[in-house]
Chain A
């Protein structure tokens, strides 16, 4: 069993409440995220799990009707405070979306996008960065001879790994993944799951999934959301074998979902 005492927390969410207009979407969510571990965010559709991870890189700022209370400490600093540099935050906390969304640019330009935003960078450094990111995302061998080709020519699974490489090129500390495999076939899903496990030596991973099996296979910690509440949180092993809450148990046994 995981001993949490020796682990360092990279993110500490406390009493997080979120409204879209008058709709109370997240209710009093408090949860730690441990560094260099995979935390699964699990729950039925509409339970607020995507909204939750979008708080962590302030993507909900794009929605005008959104109101947030509580605190989210990242490396000890509250990112919800008004003096947070959200652009820097989003390079530190990268994100991969449900539907692969590479830019209609070349494979190289997709990965180089983040590093180029930070300002002038030597071409040789950029090439190195792109190569390293693609290698980390397990895509290098498949695309090294056609970096100039449009990313739209890749398969769905490759596109998603390209999106992971694109996020990794920013050297993030945390990677948020919002149901990254739900649009993919089982083979590609498998590849990405293996990739995520290999990545956790370098980055902290938070993955939203409504696939119970996926949470069980790859995560160290699991949080179970239901109707905007964090029902249960704990090491995946514990939560899967002896769930404390009735709702967690019935979700895991497939009584609703």
Chain B
């Protein structure tokens, strides 16, 4: 065989191998979606998403869990977003003194490496017991806020870094101060990236179980929370509880898959929304 033929075969083999690996990934994604959908879709109905659970979790809907997850997620982003935004602005635009910058960077990296169950214990110690918030919506939301903070900071830092220096220079040359330049030019230009990071963190906050395990979630409530100091039901914890607790596992499992399907659709929906918002902003600006 001549050299060229060997190269051709090597090419074909290489491409085949790459394709195989890609199919492997797609295969598992499809399998995953198939299992959740096939086991979950049967219990889906309007009542399932709008009613309370009945008969010891074996019938009825999961509305309070959807509502609780929604509140936990929204509150945690409300807490984490401003802190994350200003930290990122500090890191990219001021970054002095050096020891403070290093301290922040080490904190971010450490926070993002901590297992989520440890966040749960942290939340229990600080918010539930320390600040005496009890097992409540606010304790859970604050715990989740600490968890998603590194995501928001990192994505915002990246988004700000992609804004061309030319924009800031033009702004300074027009007589703008640094603060004006950051708020009127840099942050608006970084907005698509900042939104993307925030929405990814929404998905993360909505899906986490361990951080709310000891801080906010309860297996069953008769009523929706009336204040931020009430316990709440939440989808991930609801799934966990349906599978591991209760008296009639056979009746609870389909509800668990149905809840999982709803959680999946909500998180994917939020991600799609972020893509939509981002492309919309980009189209308007043509850049």
Return chain A residues, CB-CB under 8 Å to B185: 103
Q: How far is the CA of A40 from the CA of B185 in the complex (A)?
A: 31
Dominant secondary structure at the B interface: helix
Contact of B284 among A87, A99, A150 (CB under 8 A): A150
Determine the residue in chain A with the shortest Cβ distance to B164.
Answer: A101
Pairwise interchain contact B174-A104, C-beta atoms closer than 8 A: no
Return chain A residues, CB-CB under 8 Å to B285: 104-105, 150, 152
Contact of A101 among B166, B175, B177, B180 (CB under 8 A): B166
In this complex, which of A62, A95, A97, A101 has the most chain B Cβ atoms within 10 angstroms of its Cβ? A101
The count of A-to-B residue pairs whose CB atoms sit within 8 angstroms is 70
9 additional A-B residue pairs with CB within 8 Å, beyond A117-B184, A167-B173: A90-B173, A91-B175, A104-B167, A105-B285, A113-B176, A118-B175, A163-B170, A170-B174, A170-B175
Pairwise interchain contact B167-A117, C-beta atoms closer than 8 A: no
Contact of A87 among B166, B170, B177 (CB under 8 A): B177
Pairwise interchain contact A150-B286, C-beta atoms closer than 8 A: yes
Determine the residue in chain A with the shortest Cβ distance to B178.
Answer: A62
Give the number of chain B interface residues (Cβ < 8 Å): 21
Q: A180 on the interface (CB 8 Å rule)?
A: no
Contact of A104 among B169, B171, B177, B189 (CB under 8 A): B189
Determine the residue in chain A with the shortest Cβ distance to B181.
Answer: A117
Q: How far is the CA of A141 from the CA of B170 in the complex (A)?
A: 24
Return chain B residues, CB-CB under 8 Å to A105: 188, 285
Determine the residue in chain B with the shortest Cβ distance to A101.
Answer: B166
Q: How far is the CA of A256 from the CA of B31 in the complex (A)?
A: 69
Chain B's nearest CB lies how many Å from the CB of A52?
Answer: 15
Q: A204 on the interface (CB 8 Å rule)?
A: no
- Name the interface size band of chain A: 20 to 34
Interface residues of B (CB under 8 A from A): 164, 166-167, 169-177, 180, 184-185, 188-189, 284-287
3 A-B pairs with least C-beta separation: A101-B166, A91-B175, A95-B173
Q: How far is the CA of A114 from the CA of B185 in the complex (A)?
A: 12
Chain A's nearest CB lies how many Å from the CB of B161?
Answer: 16
Pairwise interchain contact B173-A113, C-beta atoms closer than 8 A: no
Return chain B residues, CB-CB under 8 Å to A152: 285-287
Pairwise interchain contact A101-B170, C-beta atoms closer than 8 A: yes
Pairwise interchain contact B286-A153, C-beta atoms closer than 8 A: yes
Contact of A90 among B164, B175, B189, B287 (CB under 8 A): B175
Q: How far is the CA of A175 from the CA of B172 in the complex (A)?
A: 15
Instruction: Supply 19 A–B pairs (Cβ within 8 Å), ascending by A.
Output: A90-B172, A90-B173, A90-B174, A91-B174, A97-B169, A97-B170, A97-B173, A101-B164, A101-B169, A104-B167, A104-B188, A105-B188, A113-B174, A117-B176, A117-B180, A150-B285, A150-B286, A150-B287, A170-B175
Return chain A residues, CB-CB under 8 Å to B171: 103, 113
